Amino acid sequence: SELLPYNMNLIHINPDEMMLMYHRMGPECWDGRYNIAFWLWELEEIPEHWKKYFPMLDEIWTPSEFISRNLRKVTDLPVYTMPYCVEAPVDEQIDRTYFKLPEDQFLFLVMYDSNSTIERKNPTGAIRAFRAAFKNNPDVGLIIKINNAKQKDMDQLGRWLKDCPNVYYITDTLSKVEVNSLIFLADVFISLHRAEGFGLVMAEAMIVGTPVIATNWSSNTEFMNPDVACMVDCTFTQLEKDSPPYKKGARWADPDIRMAAKYMRKLYKDREFYEKIRQSAQDYIKEKLSMEQAVNRIRKRIGEIYESFERDL
């Protein structure tokens, strides 16, 4: 709908599109309303140019306390953490043959979007861990799902995976249900990211019952812990050069590849451990990121805002 019947706007776009939206919609859509931005960011350092958008807003929401905490360092606006509700419906008619995947291999899944930067998503780390854990093991495979795959990315992956058997690339654009089904069909999802603004795919893997190996840093740690996932230790490095949209000097994680490889082997060999992680994660995430939790948080905050309107009258 193009209608804006309420006196409150929830603007779920990142700052780089704020001015475009302002001009497209016109000031009458903003003026006299309570404007809430819902923003995501992956690193501790908030971009300097975001600050020019603060005067357009009354408050900011984010899906993780990691982002909220970093924003509070640079603005006096109220900042509230509003985690997403996560649901991941699958199509039970979709099986591995649908994706041209083998039925008889233990499959790890790595997933990233080239537009989210290959450096931050760090599929290289997962590949290195896979090679260290299962060199020439015919019973284990690696799925690499890439959105917006570029030829240079495919060439780079080819070099990293040279002489590595049982690697399956999926570059097709899939529906959300197809993606959820792919995650469900994998035995393990692995994300050795350097930073996450939320970590949606990890949450979706947990909710469909696929164990997760993940870097123990940034926003995903707010819905993951060692009881429900394989959390990989990390050290920290600084960017030696700009990696757009991230600036030189920013800090991000460097996950422990040997520890990740150890978890990969344990999930493959230890069925009892595998089932414990799978079931614990599914139970935990359904409660932690439920629709009820999300609705209650939003209802509570909107109620507080309207109470403040009444006090100001």
pLDDT interval class at 266 (50, 70, 90): very high
| pLDDT reading at 110 higher than 90 | yes
| pLDDT reading at 222 higher than 90 | yes
The confidence score (pLDDT) of residue 187 equals 98
Percentage of the chain lying above the pLDDT 70 cut = 99
What CA–CA distance (Å, rounded) separates 286 from 281? 8
pLDDT interval class at 109 (50, 70, 90): very high
Which tens digits make up the pLDDT trace of 156-183? 788 878 777 799 999 999 999 999 999 9
* Residue 249 phi, psi (nearest 5): 95, -15
| pLDDT reading at 151 higher than 80 | yes
| pLDDT reading at 244 higher than 90 | no
Which tens digits make up the pLDDT trace of 32-84? 999 999 999 999 999 999 999 999 999 999 999 999 999 999 999 999 999 99
The confidence score (pLDDT) of residue 145 equals 95
Beta strands at 234-238 and 230-232: parallel, antiparallel or unpaired: unpaired
Q: Which amino acid is at 178?
A: E
The confidence score (pLDDT) of residue 157 equals 81
Percentage of the chain lying above the pLDDT 90 cut = 81
Beta strands at 188-191 and 212-215: parallel, antiparallel or unpaired: parallel
Q: Which amino acid is at 223?
A: F
CB atoms within 10 A of CB 106: 19
Beta strands at 106-113 and 230-232: parallel, antiparallel or unpaired: unpaired
The confidence score (pLDDT) of residue 172 equals 92
What are the b/e assignments for 201-238, b being 16+ CB within 10 Å?
bbbbbbbbbbbbbbbbbbbbbbbbeeebbbbbebeeee
pLDDT interval class at 117 (50, 70, 90): confident
pLDDT interval class at 309 (50, 70, 90): confident
pLDDT interval class at 313 (50, 70, 90): low
| pLDDT reading at 115 higher than 80 | no
Beta strands at 106-113 and 140-147: parallel, antiparallel or unpaired: parallel
The confidence score (pLDDT) of residue 154 equals 82
pLDDT interval class at 150 (50, 70, 90): confident
pLDDT interval class at 4 (50, 70, 90): confident
- Give me the chain's average pLDDT, please: 94
